[in-house]
Structure 1
Amino acid sequence: MVRGALLGVGVLTGLMVVLQVVNWLSASWLTQHLGIRPRTWDGLWGVLFAPVLHGSWTHLFSNLLLVVVLGFLVALDGARRFAAVTAVIWFVSGLGVWLTAPPHSVTIGASMLVFGWLAYLVVRGFMTRDVWQIVLGVVLIVTLGGMFWTGIAVAAFGSSAVSWQGHLFGAAGGVLAAVQVGRAGRGRTTA
């Protein structure tokens, strides 16, 4: 399970690095054409690509550690669960940004996944009523919970170029995924 989790997160981070090389070599063509451009038909491509694209190497590296750590923690539940949770976060964050971001903006970056995975890991234990998952969620909210404040509230009301919409809808996708996991877990019966 650990090996599979490392492999899954490794493939995702490797993809991000390869795409950043291509983006760098193409003078940011990928981010300009495949980022989320709100309420435009072409901008919908960004829902598919934005979480793996970054505007600079600094942008990528600022997300990479949390992608590895939080992605790994989610992936420990297995490849199928990791894919399902990530897909919900990916879609909800992308569509939320597409619907609400300012006109003429372009949103990219794995922080949508980071906020989603963090919210998922915090809420999952309470939904499944698993003591160890609750403990992990509490540890994460104590150590990383400030991200919700700075990445959503401060970014929304400050003069930041950071997409608070991506963070907010990423977190919403994480909560939705945790609720789905909780429902699935309660639906099982033991013999």
Structure 2
Amino acid sequence: MVFSIWFVYWIEYYFQINFNKYGIYPKTITGLRGVLFSPFIHGDTSHLFNNSVPLFVMLWSLFYFYSKTAIKILLFGTLFTGLLTWAIARPSYHIGASGVVYLLVSFIFFSGIFSKYYRLVALSLAVVFMYGSMIWYIFPVEDKISWEGHLSGFITGLFLAIFYRKQSPKPDVFTFTENEEFDNLFDENGNFNPPKEEDESFEIE
């Protein structure tokens, strides 16, 4: 997927064409095509690069930890994120894979909380802290940024984490067996108490 968004951008650059009109345009029939096409369209190199790194990390994490449901989460999540953006966003073309990034971060974060698999929570938080202002962009803090797409991805990720909570990976559980011989080396206060050597007796004939 990361390769594909760079390939689409290369086509735009090489052939001097603009795919922005294939983004999501809210509340119009033609704007619905952006639900499928918008994640592959980016405004400039900076926009593309800022989405590529977190997208790669979160997609890798999704397919590593959720191998059985990863395809469903990605497809349904992208679809619902796009539809919600189409329903609530301002009248403008909304493009970029950042909605999918927010979808994946939200899903993995909340899924980790629900399953008490805190490695997933830590992974999501690491991505958020790497891109420090990420969390703020689900709010209308900048006119040129589609906060509606970010918010849609965040909400969709939470919904999918709830829906698939029973299929979330579980943290490893370790059980330990008691070693009585080892335990006997210590007294009730935890002091080392080595075993006493038995006296050997000899008979002389």
Indicate the structure with greater helix content.
1
After superposition, give the CA deviation of every residue in 1:42-73 in whole Å (9 maximum; x if it has no partner). Answer: 10000011112111122111111101111111
Please say if 1:61 is aligned against 2:86: no
CA distance in 2, matches of 1:99, 1:27: 31
Query: What's the secondary structure of 2:69's corresponding residue?
Result: helix
Alignment partner, residue 61 of structure 2: 73
Query: What's the secondary structure of 1:102's corresponding residue?
Result: coil
TM-score, with length taken from structure 2: 0.73
Structure 1 residues 159 and 115: CA distance shift in structure 2, 3 A: closer
CA distance in 2, matches of 1:57, 1:139: 26
CA distance in 2, matches of 1:141, 1:118: 8
Root mean square deviation, CA, Å: 2.2
Q: Percent identity?
A: 25
* Partners of 1:127 and 1:181 within 8 A in 2: no
Unaligned regions of 5+ residues in structure 1, if any? 1-11, 187-191
Higher CA-based Rg: 2
Alignment partner, residue 182 of structure 1: 165
CA apart distance, 1:26: 4.4
Query: What's the secondary structure of 2:150's corresponding residue?
Result: helix
CA distance in 2, matches of 1:159, 1:122: 25
The amino acid that maps onto 1:23 is E
Alignment partner, residue 124 of structure 2: 140
Please say if 1:22 is aligned against 2:11: yes
With 21-30 and 109-118 compared, the bigger mean Cα shift is at 21-30
Equivalent pairs counted in the alignment come to: 167
CA distance in 1, matches of 2:31, 2:17: 16
The amino acid that maps onto 1:25 is Y
CA distance in 2, matches of 1:167, 1:161: 13
CA distance in 2, matches of 1:110, 1:102: 18
With 69-78 and 160-169 compared, the bigger mean Cα shift is at 69-78
Superposed structure 1 runs of 4+ greater than 4 Å apart: 145-148
Unaligned regions of 5+ residues in structure 2, if any? 170-205
* Mapping for residues 116-131 of structure 1, pairs under 5 Å: 116-129=103-116
